[in-house]
A and B are shown apart, each in its own frame.
Chain A
Amino acid sequence: MRLSATAILVIGACVSQGAVAEWRLNLDPGATEISRSVYDLHMLIFYVCVAIGVVVFGVMLWSIVHHRKSRGAKAHNFHENTLVEIIWTIIPFAILIAMALPASQTLIQMYDKRDGDVTIQITGYQWKWRYQYLDQEIDFFSSLSTPQAQISNQQQKGDHYLLEVDKPMVIPANRKVRFLLTANDVIHSWWVPALAVKKDAIPGFINEAWAEVDQPGTYRGQCAELCGKDHGFMPIVVEVLPPAEFEQWVADTRSAKEAEAAADTEQDLAQLMARGEAVYSSQCAACHQPGGAGIPGAFPALAGSELILRDRAAHIDIVVNGRAGTAMQAFGQQLNPVDLAAVITYERNAWGNNTGDAVQPREIRALQP
């Protein structure tokens, strides 16, 4: 008997250790001083709740068992006891005040937005994020990079399924990075648990948050405010680099942008189509669908579209400037002229729209101020 009990205990211990490694139920302590103090607060308050639960339910159960009717207990009938009532009001009051002391310390730290080293404006779009480094003149969009085939179960899902993007936000380690959050269309929420930042991005408002990450690495998050059809498909990836590497990244990104702008050469149809297909699947396919069929009643079909086939200028215009009052965004500010030319060319020639027509980057550039 004793042997089997020991065996069960040993097996139980092994199983639970394996299980703990596999399904971690608790929160992530995170990668910043603030996130660790949030985690510590959470644990402290959790243990306070456990202690209260043990005391309250312990006294209750003991009373139920000890004063049960079969033992001849008689109910004591009384209306009030002011002293007891005052005691049971003061005790929770004191507990709440005791918990508020460390919590307010953390909150004050969290809201101390002074002295940022890097400032990034984060704008939520349906359904991607835009990062503008205000002092570094870097500005890019970050969209989901999980292939459509993984989403529709035609391919094995990757390790970071739906938590991977084409261009991550890059920030330096051990520097105070300020985030200015807003949105272009509807309310989004920028949430990266490891940074302990979860802040609503609201059109017309600027919300502030900050993080100082001490360990370089990759941290992932998601949009945390239901924002429409692809709310679950606009993840956040934050790449934290040592400060020197961050400076290098800033220099590289800026020179790459200059090179892109300089490469304004004519491209042939095949080049444009290849690039256009990639742009289409990351920027357009969410609404207009990978096959260009759209979603009837919500997002118009591009395959066989009258507008595309008959009016070239209107097609370029709607992609560059969007259409007010609909979900069609102005991509002129989101994509560079080469990508715009490529994706318009792709839409004019894919899925049986065989116009044979190539739109060149200089035509797009001519439309932009």
Chain B
Amino acid sequence: MAAKQSLCALIASIAAAAFGVQSQDKLERDFAHRSAWPFIIGGLLGTLLFVLALWWLVDWVLASQR
């Protein structure tokens, strides 16, 4: 239960970082973690997903125009 909660919090924090807005409470909570690696790897994965989503979006727009 605790693991699941922290995974949700991790994803929420990565999404907040991508969006650019985060509250002080959550920042302090995240910085209390021992390791930064989950955030770094999650951030890279999130970026990859974003790029793929953009790619798919452009393909879809171009295909719907032709």
List residues of A whose CB falls within 8 A of some B CB: 79-80, 82, 85-86, 89, 104-105, 108
Contacts and interface: CB of A to CB of B under 8 A. Distances in A.
Name the residue among B21, B61, B62 with the largest chain A CB count within 10 angstroms.
B21
Interface string B6-43: 00000000000001111110000000000000000000
B5 interface: no
B30 to A, nearest CB: 15
Interface residues of B, number: 9
Identify whether the interface residues of B are mostly helix, strand, loop, or mixed.
helix
Contact of B23 (A82, A89, A105, A108): A82
A104 B61 CA distance: 9
A138 B19 CA distance: 56
A108 to B, nearest CB: 5
Contacts of A108: 61-62, 65
B61 A89 contact: no
A243 B19 CA distance: 54
A92 to B, nearest CB: 11
B24 A80 contact: yes
Contacts of A82: 21-23
A210 to B, nearest CB: 16
Q: Which 6 A-B residue pairings sit nearest by Cβ, starting from the closest? A: A85-B21, A82-B23, A108-B65, A86-B21, A80-B24, A89-B21
A80 B20 contact: no
Nearest to B65: A108
A293 B22 CA distance: 70
5 contacts: A82-B22, A85-B21, A86-B21, A104-B61, A108-B65
A86 B22 CA distance: 9
A80 B21 CA distance: 10
Contacts of B21: 82, 85-86, 89
Contacts of B24: 79-80
Contact of A89 (B19, B62, B65): B19
Contacts of A89: 19-21
Nearest to B58: A104
A80 B19 CA distance: 16
A87 to B, nearest CB: 10
A278 B20 CA distance: 66
Nearest to A90: B19
A105 B64 CA distance: 11
